């Protein structure tokens, strides 16, 4: 693993056809309806792996694929993943093959990564049905490991349970005990088709929490590029999609913002080879086969571009920011993003401590970023200074705060009153971190961020609460707390800074238009010197 952000990671997966880099999109190749050939996928899109269906290969082409091998049959020299026919079980109830026959066939056609013949739960199964699919899938998983005869094929163990999260957890824990090379979340397709992305987040993270972190994780049927960033952020290393071809047959044009009908477009918002050479009307007027091929090519270009974009975001440590952007593409994605706040501790635990670039904060969704969660956790154990006075000030004009002209001027005025650095403790209040002791402000990312100056109400409420709780936790150590009120955030903090025993004494200074003026700073210094008992000198 070379780079990591949130649960997303850039890694290497070794197969017998070579090493492939993850996160990796696996275009689904229908062996009977090859809209874009696997050879074209490799040569024109740089595709390093595809997924096809072993059951359909066996049913429609039989020994021909065995004689030639799946790579020659498909005309694809890179890694091939074979699904087992479980999706057909989900749709039709059964298939005309046993697990023993499917596993034998997958080995005979020389696949690289093979899925066992599990029993999908589906997205709408009742409790009894879900329990049955979990139990049978685990039985088949144990059986599959005994049936396999080749050690050079990577085997995939699926997790079942559907929308019953306790069963997903149980399935994950049990299959994690078995030595599979790859684990996968089964049955998400119906959830994604109905745009129930918030539940997809819950299912995926439930599985991830109970599976080995050192093994690749596959999300079946990821589908649309507008949710690839979510898949990677949730820890999915592999994901497959047939949507590029299915949508093309339906005359649908993919973008990372959503899907449009070709008939609705007057202009193409894309510069891929197809969109650069055709106008929408010209594409509509082509014969159906040519239109299908070109529309599928555009859809593929969008999918692979988004994968590259997501990987670059992981490399730069800006995957959260990409998620915030993609969350605005559809209300269901926005709802799914909000669900991440329920798992902020898990995301923090598995996220890097630092990145090579600063962070951008936009609104309340940014508050669940691992960096913010981690800071608040660690601030609780920050040791108390020996200062008698705590002064809370709004964000100065520059970072790091202690080097700003405002804070330099403040320290100069304090020194003129014979007050040392140990007499007063300064903290800055601002979004998104709440309260920042000046001793910490050069630590990442307290000076390496940019935030919206005009905060939304939820962010303001959150930051004010964090500041007030911090002061309450430290107040027994101070003789006086001074709050310099500026703007709505300062007013919100003042409304929450209340305690009943009168210790320490609280002084609230309304700044109005005089924030950081010399007169304002002198007033602050006077209050501090009175509390510490130091001599007062004129400036």
Please list the active-site residues. Answer: 83
Helix (H) or strand (E) holding 337: helix 331-339
For 15, phi then psi, to 5°, come to -120, 170
Q: Which of 209, 271, 273 is nearest to 235 (CA)?
A: 209
Residue 187 contacts residue 123 (beta carbons within 8 Å): yes
* Distance from chain centroid for Cα 324: 9
Alpha-carbon distance of 258 to 127, in angstroms, equals 33
Q: Name the 3-class secondary structure at 485.
A: strand
Q: Are strands 238-241 and 24-27 parallel, antiparallel or unpaired?
A: parallel
SS3 235: coil
Contacts of 40 (CB under 8 A, 6+ apart): none
Q: How far apart are CA 511 and CA 464, in angstroms?
A: 18
Distance of CA 264 to CAs 224, 226, 251, 259, 298, Å? 19, 19, 10, 11, 16
How many residues in the chain? 539
CB of 505 within 8 A of CB of 480?
Answer: yes
Q: Report the SS3 class of residue 381.
A: coil
Q: Look up residue 385 and give its DSSP letter.
A: P
Decide: 345 and 373 in contact? Cβ < 8 Å: yes
Query: Which structure tokens are listed for 21?
Result: 């880099």
Omega cis (within 30) before 400: yes
Beta strands at 480-485 and 182-185: parallel, antiparallel or unpaired:
unpaired
- Separation between Cα atoms, residue 323 and residue 229, nearest integer Å: 6
Smallest CA-to-CA distance from 452 within 336, 521, 362 is with 362
Starting at the edge strand found earlier in the chain, the sheet holding 3-5 runs 3-5, 8-15, 18-22
> Measured between alpha carbons, how far is 262 from 266 in angstroms, rounded to an integer?
9
């Amino acid at each position: 693993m070379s780079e990591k952000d949130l649960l997303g990671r850039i890694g290497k997966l070794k197969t017998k056809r070579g090493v492939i880099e993850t996160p990796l999109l696996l275009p689904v190749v229908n062996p009977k309806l090859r809209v874009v050939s696997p050879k074209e996928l490799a040569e024109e899109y740089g595709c390093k792996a595809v997924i096809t269906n072993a059951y359909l290969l066996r049913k429609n082409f039989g020994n021909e694929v065995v004689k030639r091998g799946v790579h020659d049959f498909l005309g694809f020299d890179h890694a091939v993943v074979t699904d087992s026919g479980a999706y057909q079980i989900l749709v039709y109830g059964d298939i005309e093959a046993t697990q023993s026959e499917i596993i034998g066939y997958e080995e005979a056609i020389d696949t690289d990564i093979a899925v066992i013949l599990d029993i999908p739960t589906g997205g709408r199964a009742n409790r009894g049905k879900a329990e049955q699919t979990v139990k049978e899938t685990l039985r088949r998983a144990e059986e599959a490991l005994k049936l396999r005869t080749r050690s050079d094929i990577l085997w995939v163990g699926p997790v079942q349970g559907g929308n019953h999260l306790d069963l997903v957890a149980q399935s994950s824990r049990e299959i994690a005990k078995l030595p599979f090379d790859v684990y996968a979340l089964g049955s998400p397709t119906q959830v994604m088709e109905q745009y129930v992305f918030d539940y997809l987040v819950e299912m995926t993270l439930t599985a991830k929490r109970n599976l080995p972190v050192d093994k690749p994780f596959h999300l079946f049927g990821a589908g649309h590029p507008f949710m690839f960033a979510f898949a990677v952020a949730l820890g999915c290393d592999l994901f497959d999609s047939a949507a590029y071809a299915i949508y093309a047959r339906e005359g649908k044009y993919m973008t990372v913002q959503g899907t449009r009908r070709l008939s609705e477009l007057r202009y193409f918002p894309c510069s891929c080879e197809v969109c650069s050479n055709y106008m929408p009307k010209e594409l509509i007027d082509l014969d159906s086969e040519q239109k299908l091929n070109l529309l599928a090519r555009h859809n593929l270009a969008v999918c692979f571009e988004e994968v590259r974009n997501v990987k670059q975001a992981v490399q730069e440590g800006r995957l959260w920011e990409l998620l915030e952007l993609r969350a605005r593409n559809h209300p269901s994605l926005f709802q799914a993003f909000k669900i991440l706040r329920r798992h902020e501790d898990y995301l923090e635990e598995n996220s890097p401590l630092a990145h090579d670039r600063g962070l951008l904060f936009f609104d309340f969704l940014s508050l669940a970023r691992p960096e913010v969660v981690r800071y608040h956790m660690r601030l609780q154990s920050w040791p108390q200074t020996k200062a008698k006075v705590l002064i809370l000030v709004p964000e100065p004009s520059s970072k790091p705060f202690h080097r700003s002209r405002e804070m330099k001027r403040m320290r100069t005025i304090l020194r003129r009153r014979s007050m040392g650095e140990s007499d007063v403790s300064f903290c800055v209040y601002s979004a998104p971190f709440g309260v920042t002791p000046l001793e910490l402000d050069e630590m990442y990312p307290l000076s390496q961020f940019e935030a919206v100056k005009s905060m939304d109400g939820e962010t303001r409420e959150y930051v004010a609460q964090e500041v007030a709780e911090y002061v309450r936790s430290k107040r027994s150590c101070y003789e006086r707390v001074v709050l310099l009120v500026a703007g709505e955030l300062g007013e919100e903090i003042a409304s929450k800074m209340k305690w009943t025993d009168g210790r320490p004494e609280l002084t609230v200074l309304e700044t109005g238009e005089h924030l950081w003026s010399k007169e304002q700073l002198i007033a602050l210094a006077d209050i501090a010197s009175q509390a510490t008992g130091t001599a007062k000198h004129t400036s």
